[in-house]
Structure 1
Amino acid sequence: MHFALTEEEIMIRDTARSIAAERLAPLAPVLDRGEGRPQFLANLKYLGEQGFMALKIGADYDGPEAGSVAFALAVEEIGYACAATGTTVSVTNLVGEVIQAVGTAAQKQAHLPHLASGAYLAGSFCLTEPAAGSDPAAMQTRARREGGEYILDGEKIFITSAEYADVFVVWAVTDPQAPKGKGISCFLVEAGTPGLAIGKAERKMGQAGSATNPVSFAGCRIPAANLLGRENDGFRIAVGELAGGRIGIASLSLGIARAAMDLAKAYIRERKQFGQAIGDFQGIQWLIADRETELEAARLLILNAAAKKDRGEPFGKEASMAKLYASETAQRCTDTALQLHGGSGYLQDYNVERLARDARLTRLYEGTSEIQRLIIARDVLRQ
């Protein structure tokens, strides 16, 4: 099996690492305090101008056409520096991929170049509802056809980047009489469309820099041409594209975990107790060995899923494995890093407590750990 990265993948990873260190890492603690929004938006625009918001978009639409492995490497580096920015980058790439996969030529031309150039700061993925989280087929948002338009009514929750998104991919029920999950369609809604309203940002445990908002639709009229894919085929689109999104969140999880362990390794070399650095104690070394082994396993799971996707092979199970393992590893790594810092790790003066809070979300969004286990088990038992 060939594990070497291509020159392009290395270049994208190294560029992401450089941007992350220079622009994102210094801002991360500021965003965590609820400050720095103008700089955050400026960073999103810069990342877009460098192609990081549309890594898998084809050259026909001015995208870098870099593939899923490059995407995973870039999100890991961005997440290492700032989880809030990494989440926005991951979701915006997902939005572009949905449009590229099922959009018409006109839809692609209208939106993909803007994602690829930084003209759009972000995109939002509007699927989750108050009564439809892990069970998206239970959604209540409706879209009814009226002449040459669809009219959307309903409410979405936990929508990433809604405050500054320029385009929304929205799921709604178009045939309420169809069996569950069979009457759902997918639509493009542009920011500023009458009837689209963005609610107040949620106050979150972590990743405070990334806005998470309720989004409501009240008599929101959009052209019928904004239908993405075929009518009543939206659930299949959502399920297929969520698998790609899980590679992004797995990569983000790995970046957070790496950052925490790098801080821990630096601290245990300097912190002395009982006349020696605490990193010289065998018990501490075993903790480091276990976490580093888990980081490497997470990396391999992510790259395997991404490589399968790039080759056009089925990758849903592998993406769920990568997301499950990497997010659970991020939880263990940040907890270990905090423990190795002792009381200092609990202080906001040290970044590990922020990383611990940022990591906790990775086990929830793009499908909880429990949902990933269901997906994996069902796939394995079906074979």
Structure 2
Amino acid sequence: MDFTPTEAQTDLARLTGEICAKLVTADRLRELDVQGRYDEQLWKSLAETGVLAAALPDDLGGSDFGMLEQSAILRELGRVVAAVPYLWSIVLGAGALARFGDAEQRQLAARAGTGEVVLTAALAEELRATTDAPAIVAESAGDSWTLTGSATTVPYADRAERILVPASVSGRPAVFVVDPEHASVARTAQQVVDLSPEFAVDLAATPATLLGTVESGADILTWLREHAWLGLSSLQLGTLERALDITSEHTRTREQFGKAIGSFQSVAQRLADAYIDINGLRLTVTQAAWRLSEGLPAAESVHIAKFWAADAGHRVAHTVVHVHGGLGIDRDHITHNYFTAAKHHEFALGGATAHLLALGAELAS
């Protein structure tokens, strides 16, 4: 593979970075450090500048960019721990509807690309690095479908126009589209480590429309799995990169015993280990994104990237806190935001052990 970034990757990363640098300041992060954090101003700016629509097909107003470009955007959003649903609404929601949906569903993807609506996906039960049938059950009545069951930690379910929900059809996975405003849907706010808006969603014979076909359901679910895992890994890469930058600057200015703490061997070694970990994550994310963009089998590469996001993410996050000392556990210090974001990305949709097991199963098969 060629590791040289594409022109589109570079341009989209630069544009996203400029928008984030202007709008997501340290003061803004502290302002957003509340339950259900959501940055509406940043989301609107990303829509107005065309960042959201870039990944959509040409006929839906986009540029048809692939996962390499989307990964570059996610990395920049991770660098500022942005409180926006780019992964869930654009990469997964709009991406799946545009690729597998009918005409009406594809128009919903186009509306998501303009920022008019937010989409999301209920994937926690299905993305713990397993291949079990979805916990939610679908039943058909003629040409219509209903779903019954529960999903936990569904991001942005409070503001989503539609939720993509994997469900079991006679033991086979299929993916459906649900209106969360229907009377049969109950949403309960959950508290997660980085205070992002995630909800338990209960469905009681909720009307749903099928995405694709029942026969293609397993392939659609695999597509959602791989893009979600890689998306979280890309966010983690940006988060850890910026966290290490902040920590390195701290070691140059913080003094103990008349010397900058960065001159102490133990501190320098911790930072060197973090640097190596981040480079490993960057390599695995780039490889997995390239394989997905090229339409190549990517299951192994994606599991490896998510393992690095979890395993290296754990080490780097704790290094950042330890090197900052008491400041590292102060909720008013920016380190707090990066630590909680890194812990969220570490465990979301499966931690290190889950992905090692899944990788082993993939290699064995």
Aligned to 2:199: 213
**Structure 1 residue 306, shift from structure 2 partner:** 0.7
Matches within 5 A, 1:112-131: 112-120=109-117, 122-129=118-125
Identify the residue that residue 50 of structure 1 maps to in structure 2. 49
| Residues 270 and 319, structure 2, Cα contact 8 Å, conserved in 1 | yes
- Give distance in 1, aligned partners of 2:41 and 2:187: 21
Report if aligned partners of 2:184, 2:206 keep a CA contact under 8 Å in 1: yes
**1:89 equivalent in alignment to 2:72:** no
For 2:62 and 2:115, locate their aligned partners in 1 and report how far apart those are by CA, in whole Å: 11
1:70-123 per-residue CA deviation (whole Å, 9 max, x = no partner) reads 1111111111102543xx211221122222232123421x21211111111x21
Shift of 1:191: 4.2
**How far did 1:358 drift?**
1.8
1:367 equivalent to 2:350? Answer yes
Q: Distance in 2 between matches of 1:267 and 1:260?
A: 11
| Residue aligning to 2:103 | 105
SS in 1 for 2:147: strand
C-alpha distance after superposition, 1:289-309 (max 9, x if no partner) = 221122112111111111111
CA pair 335-51 structure 1, distance change in 2 beyond 3 A: same
8 Å CA contact 2:161, 2:180 repeated in 1: yes
Q: 1:154 aligns with which of 149, 153, 165?
A: 149
Aligned length: 363
CA distance in 1, matches of 2:83, 2:352: 20
**Which whole-Å CA distance do the structure 2 matches of 1:328 and 1:50 have between them?**
35
Kindly state the Cα deviation for residue 48 of structure 1 after the two structures are TM-superposed.
Answer: 3.1
Q: Give the residue type in structure 2 aligned to 1:159.
A: V
Write the distance in 2 (CA, Å) between the matches of 1:366 and 1:101: 23
Show the 5 A alignment for 1:12-31: 12-26=12-26, 27-31=28-32
The amino acid of 2:73's aligned partner reads A
SS in 2 for 1:137: coil
Q: Kindly tell me: are residues 170 and 160 of structure 1, through their superposed partners in 2, closer, same or farther at Cα, counting changes over 3 Å?
A: same
CA distance in 2, matches of 1:204, 1:363: 12
TM-aligned CA distance change 1:34 to 1:227, over 3 Å: closer
Q: TM-score, normalised by structure 2?
A: 0.91
> Which residue number in structure 2 is paired with residue 167 of structure 1?
162
Q: Distance in 2 between matches of 1:126 and 1:340?
A: 37
* Cα distance, 1:55 vs structure 2: 4.2
CA distance in 2, matches of 1:378, 1:133: 14
SS at match of 2:132: helix
TM-score, normalised on structure 1? 0.87
Q: Taking structure 1 as reference, are residues 51 and 192 closer, same or farther at Cα in structure 2, changes over 3 Å only? A: farther
Q: Which residue identity is paired with 2:9?
A: E
* CA drift at 1:33: 3.0
- The question of whether the paired residues in 2 share the 8 Å contact of 1:30 and 1:36 is answered with no
Q: Do structure 1's residue 66 and structure 2's residue 60 form an aligned pair?
A: no
**What's 2:181 paired with?**
192
User: Which has the larger displacement, 226-235 or 328-337?
Assistant: 226-235
Q: Please report how far the alpha carbon of residue 363 of structure 1 lies from its aligned counterpart in structure 2 after TM superposition.
A: 2.2
SS at structure 2 position matched to 1:111? helix
The alpha-carbon deviation at position 313 of structure 1 amounts to: 1.0
Partner of 2:74, secondary structure, is helix
The RMSD of aligned alpha carbons is 2.2
CA displacement, residues 245-268 of structure 1 (integer Å, 9 cap, x when unaligned): 111111111111112111111111
Q: Which residue of 2 aligns with 1:3?
A: 3
Find out whether 1:204 has 2:192 as its counterpart: yes
Letter in 2 for 1:47: L
Kept in 2, the 8 Å contact 1:194–1:221? The answer is no
